[in-house]
Amino acid sequence: MDYPSTIFFADFPDFSPNLTPTQIFSLGSFGGTYWSPIYSTVSGEHLRDQHLEFEEWWDGIPENLLTNSNYQKTLNRYGVKSGTDLELWESKGWIHEQDPYGWVQWYCRFFSGRRTEDDMRQIRRWKAFTGPQGRFRRQLISKIMQKETSFSDEKVSPVIRQSLQHWAYQLTESDFDGDVMRRVENTFS
């Protein structure tokens, strides 16, 4: 498997995903259901075909990886169920009307150049989840260290790996090594 490179946004240099929107979906995410028709309680609308805003990105990606009506974990890169449903996200206040499908819709629009007042909130959420100090990224690294195996051993926590992929990130060797070094340095300081 080829591991991605960090994506750089000059106006937000501390936001450093390493998967593009196209990669998130081509690898297999959200059981294929992310862009399926929804009723948004936030906007009060029935929504469909929202992915067509970025139609050119999906060339070559099977439709069942984008708009499947039923979640199928076998469509996910790691073959596991990961994440929660839209209703929970809406109930927690994590969904704003401008992006009724959630974080990935925001990311697609941000990636294509849109900037809004919601950017800082969404980037804070990304950093808390998968940034250098993000809880899921650090949990995955801890599990790999406990198993004394390679950063790329996909048997170690496929659910966390799938979740990180949903947030536009895959663990890289340099990120793994850097975090391990920081932990060792902190132990001896």
Tokens (6 digits) for 145: 């260290």
As beta bridge partners, residue 35 has none
- Label residue 185 by pLDDT band (50, 70, 90): confident
What's the pLDDT tens digit per position in 28-63?
A: 999 999 999 999 999 999 999 999 999 999 999 999
DSSP for 56-107 reads GGGTTS-GGGTS-SS--GGGSTTSS--S--HHHHHHTT---TTSTT-HHHHH
pLDDT mean over 126-150? 96
pLDDT mean over 162-167? 98
Q: Which residue has the tokens 């139609």?
A: 55
What's the pLDDT tens digit per position in 107-134?
A: 999 999 999 999 999 999 999 999 999 9
* Cβ atoms 38, 47 nearer than 8 A: yes
Rounded to 5, what percent of the chain is helix, strand, coil? 45, 5, 50
At 148, the amino acid letter reads E
Q: What is the mean pLDDT of the chain?
A: 95
- The pTM score is 0.94
Tokens (6 digits) for 75: 């469509």
CA dihedral 140, 91, 101, 165 (to 10 degrees): 0
pLDDT mean over 149-175? 97
